[in-house]
Amino acid sequence: MAKAKEQKGAEKKGGNGHHYDASDISVLEGLEPVRRRPGMYIGTTGPEGLHHLVWEIFDNSRDEAMGGFCNDIEVVLLPGNRVRIADNGRGIPVDMHKKTKVSALETVMTTLHAGGKFGGEGYKVSGGLHGVGASVVNALSIFCKVVVHRDGGQYVQEYSQGKPVRQAQGKESSAVKKIGNSKLHGTIVTFEPDQEIFKDLKFDWSTIVNHIRQQAYLVKGLRITIIDARGNENKEVEKGMDERDVFYFRDLELELSSVAFYFEGGLISLIKFYNKFQKPIQKEIFYIEKEQDGVGVEIALQYVDDIADRIVPFANNINTPEGGTHMTGFKTALTRTLNTYCKKNEMMKESEGGFTGEDVLEGLTVAISVKLREIQFEGQTKAKLGSMEAQGAVATVFGEAFNNFLEENPDDARAIINKSILALKARKAAKAAKDSILRKGALEGMTLPGKLADCQSKDAAESELFLVEGDSAGGSCKQGRDRKIQAVLPLKGKILNVERARIDKMLASKEIKSLVIAMGTSIGDTFDISKMRYHKIIIATDADVDGSHIRTLLLTLFYRYFRQVIEAGYIYIAQPPLYKIKKGKEISYAYTDDEKLKIMGKGTEVSEIEAVEEPASADLPAEALAEEGGEAKKSNKIHIQRFKGLGEMNPEELWETTMDPANRVLKKVNIDDAEEANKIFDILMGSEVPPRKSFIQSNAKLAEIDI
């Protein structure tokens, strides 16, 4: 009997011996799940998630414009980390909601999955789920205020951490208040993110401008104004919080940074913007806008003289960087249409086979926008479209329209086909080159380049690869490194500029081939980041113009052909010192001229120091004034060595300053705005000279030149 009781008790405890029943199931009410797990709703609590709050509120205003109820939006960055977004739409309803027994406004702002986009006739097309976005922003804000102008009145309600203010203070919930009459209509949302959730509350002006510019292209006839009032504590700015006027800040006679967007051309204007620094091979921009089976399809494209593609997909005006069903439908139709046209007009030999998706995308700039009544995304952050009806609609609409375009524009058709044929030949040549490299390495029993001084560790997580400039620097690095975890690959001269080079030409470059083999990931369609041999690739070049150029060439290579390596956080730039300063027995390293002066001027005014810069082997005196009394006296001798390159540093100095993980300074390379990075690489490394000249002239004063 005793044994039976023990067994029954064990069953109650569960397999692991711990008590587990219905009382252990947590039920989070209201918006508490959002505050507990914000990453599930906005992806991250870093800068990207912070800006996602702006997008969610802005999307609600933009959806009013998509429905034809709004044509003006104002976004204002306010002092105190607050953002104000106003529109002249219909205004969120403020009447009582039958189910929740509170106003519709409070329901939308405090309840997940509540809003006008889940059915009914509130919105035929919307970017997100009205109520999910607004309520999530509300939940993650320490302050949120919504003002509604509609039906002749002005209404307001304030919230904190997702609850109406009075309720957040432990009192009864206060209803929406009518604070006056109004002839205006629209909604104004002002919010301040909660520092408990977000460590960094700094909104980036360029990030917001670039995102909203993109949205302006997508909604024809919509005016969007962005104003930066953060540095202005003027009373007129504070008065704007009173919300008496929807577009209050636009008319202020203050010197505020602002930018306004208004485009009638839609996606055609967007393509022109992206190809501003490119050379088109297709004169007429292709454009189609049509509805198919309840799905609105809008596509604009143009081929340019480049090897990279630029594909910008949207679903209900939300950028879907990971693609989705609309992208699949487009790529399928594009490949099929060009293959059919090519075969029909006998423009390619049968022995060459047909185009693949890779061939027809080369040099293509395309914007794809679909609008659906019921939309499904894969993931809460809406990075990938999952609605299957979009695939067929895009394939049908685009396939038919693009075929007609090719027939009606034979010159453009010929240019597009010829470019795709060139890409096909290059793809085959690249495959042959890659196969040759892999076979050659395997047959010779040597998969790594001879000049690579590899590390002993086989654990990629702790292994580092230093890319250094020349054999001299390579020799010092090889002697000074930690052989267990640090590998060194010297690069001779400047590598090939890959901005306009295909893989076959790249792999003909000995330096690039050595780097690709050393990394272990392969390249192109056989790239596999899981085979990366080092989780730190450190670019260590000299602190001069040539070193900067080599660094730029390497970054171009990684950005164009190994972007996943950058996105994984594996690329770093070493920061070797410029000076070695010895005062008596004390040795210091300075990374800038300011640091050098600070080190030399310890205990004295910088202007009172005289020093001569020579190689460290010289023994040069320096004068310094005493700290007190103003009487001059001899100080210890100061030795200053100016490092012109890594090759001038001995192994011990290199280890101590540049390679020792405990002391070194590294800059991590990341892609904050891939589209902006793409444009800059086009300007700086492309073949078009005028844009590069203009860029240099505009930014010359910002350059730090070592003369």
pLDDT of 40 above 60 = yes
d(C-alpha 115, C-alpha 670), whole Å: 37
* Mean pLDDT computed over 373-385: 80
- Which is higher by pLDDT, 700 or 671? 671
Do residues 35 and 186 touch, judged by C-beta distance below 8 A? no
Run of H or E residues at 187: strand 186-193
d(C-alpha 238, C-alpha 221), whole Å: 31
- Which is higher by pLDDT, 364 or 233? 364
Give the 3-state secondary structure of 518-560: HHCCCCHHHCCHHHCCCCEEEEECCCCHHHHHHHHHHHHHHHH
Q: Which residues pair with 190 in a beta bridge?
A: 84, 145
d(C-alpha 194, C-alpha 192), whole Å: 6
Question: DSSP assignment of 556-575, as one string?
Answer: HHHHHH-HHHHHTT-EEEE-
pLDDT of 393 above 60 = yes
- Residue 236 tokens read as 């007129």
pLDDT of residue 139: 92
pLDDT of residue 73: 96
Parallel/antiparallel/unpaired status of strands 223-228 and 72-78: parallel
d(C-alpha 38, C-alpha 44), whole Å: 7
User: pLDDT band at residue 4, thresholds of 50, 70 and 90?
Assistant: very low
- Which is higher by pLDDT, 121 or 648? 648
- Residue type for position 352: E
Contacts 24+ apart (CB under 8 A), 622-628: 627/603
Do residues 73 and 54 touch, judged by C-beta distance below 8 A? no
d(C-alpha 569, C-alpha 669), whole Å: 7
What SS3 state is found at 117? coil
Query: Smallest Cα–Cα separation from 324: which of 389, 399, 407?
Result: 389
User: pLDDT band at residue 630, thresholds of 50, 70 and 90?
Assistant: very low
pLDDT of residue 13: 46
Do residues 382 and 314 touch, judged by C-beta distance below 8 A? no
d(C-alpha 239, C-alpha 372), whole Å: 40
pLDDT of residue 30: 64
**Tally of CB atoms within 10 A around 11:** 9
pLDDT of 628 above 70 = no
pLDDT of 616 above 80 = no
pLDDT of residue 686: 64
Of 35-44, 159-168, 600-609, the poorest mean pLDDT is in 600-609
pLDDT of residue 131: 37
* Mean pLDDT computed over 593-603: 75
Do residues 559 and 674 touch, judged by C-beta distance below 8 A? no
- Which is higher by pLDDT, 101 or 644? 101
pLDDT of 250 above 80 = no
Which distant-in-sequence residues (6+ apart) come within 8 Å of 465 by Cβ? 487, 488, 489, 518, 519, 533, 534, 536, 537, 538
Average pLDDT, the chain: 81
d(C-alpha 136, C-alpha 497), whole Å: 46
pLDDT of 542 above 90 = no
Question: DSSP assignment of 313-354, as one string?
Answer: EEETTEE-TT-BHHHHHHHHHHHHHHHHHHHHTT-S-GGG--
d(C-alpha 420, C-alpha 357), whole Å: 10
pLDDT of 91 above 70 = yes
Do residues 588 and 600 touch, judged by C-beta distance below 8 A? no
d(C-alpha 66, C-alpha 655), whole Å: 59
pLDDT of residue 410: 94
Percent of the chain exceeding pLDDT 70 equals: 76
pLDDT of residue 450: 77
What SS3 state is found at 129? coil
Query: What is the residue whose two structure tokens read 């594996």?
Result: 570
pLDDT of residue 336: 96
User: pLDDT band at residue 587, thresholds of 50, 70 and 90?
Assistant: confident
**Over the Cα atoms of the chain, what is R_g?**
31
What SS3 state is found at 218? helix
Active-site annotation, residues? 469, 542, 544, 546
- For 450-473, how does the pLDDT look when each residue is reduced to its tens digit (9 = 90+)? 789 999 999 999 999 999 988 888
d(C-alpha 595, C-alpha 657), whole Å: 15
- Which domains are delineated in the chain? 33-261 (3.30.565.10), 267-427 (3.30.230.10), 448-576+668-702 (3.40.50.670), 579-642 (no CATH)
d(C-alpha 643, C-alpha 616), whole Å: 10
- Residue 495 tokens read as 């590598």
- For 138-155, how does the pLDDT look when each residue is reduced to its tens digit (9 = 90+)? 999 999 999 999 999 999
**Tally of CB atoms within 10 A around 149:** 26
- Which is higher by pLDDT, 232 or 265? 265
CA torsion sign, 369 to 373 to 376 to 379? positive
Do residues 309 and 374 touch, judged by C-beta distance below 8 A? no
- Which is higher by pLDDT, 690 or 32? 32
pLDDT of residue 623: 43
* Mean pLDDT computed over 286-310: 93
Q: Which residues pair with 310 in a beta bridge?
A: 365
d(C-alpha 377, C-alpha 388), whole Å: 10
Percent of the chain exceeding pLDDT 90 equals: 39
Query: What is the residue whose two structure tokens read 């490092």?
Result: 643
d(C-alpha 579, C-alpha 598), whole Å: 12
pLDDT of 524 above 50 = yes
pLDDT of 438 above 60 = no
Which distant-in-sequence residues (6+ apart) come within 8 Å of 440 by Cβ? none
Of 103-117, 225-239, 251-265, 623-637, the poorest mean pLDDT is in 623-637
- Which is higher by pLDDT, 228 or 264? 228
Write phi, then psi, for 341 (nearest 5 degrees).
-65, -40
pLDDT of 707 above 50 = no
Sheet containing strand 464-469, edge to edge, reads 486-491, 464-469, 536-540, 571-574, 666-668
d(C-alpha 216, C-alpha 266), whole Å: 8
User: pLDDT band at residue 441, thresholds of 50, 70 and 90?
Assistant: very low
CA torsion sign, 321 to 324 to 326 to 327? positive
Across 37-41, 308-312, 568-572, 613-617, the highest mean pLDDT is recorded for: 568-572
- Residue 42 tokens read as 């906005």
Do residues 276 and 302 touch, judged by C-beta distance below 8 A? no
Run of H or E residues at 364: strand 364-371
* Mean pLDDT computed over 337-358: 87
Of 175-189, 391-405, 496-510, 517-531, the poorest mean pLDDT is in 496-510
pLDDT of 44 above 50 = yes
d(C-alpha 626, C-alpha 629), whole Å: 7
- Residue 622 tokens read as 């320096």
pLDDT of residue 188: 94
345, burial (CB in 10 Å: exposed 0-12, middle 13-18, buried 19+): middle
- For 218-245, how does the pLDDT look when each residue is reduced to its tens digit (9 = 90+)? 888 899 999 998 877 666 666 655 566 7
Of 64-73, 168-177, 426-435, the poorest mean pLDDT is in 168-177
User: pLDDT band at residue 276, thresholds of 50, 70 and 90?
Assistant: confident
Do residues 599 and 584 touch, judged by C-beta distance below 8 A? no
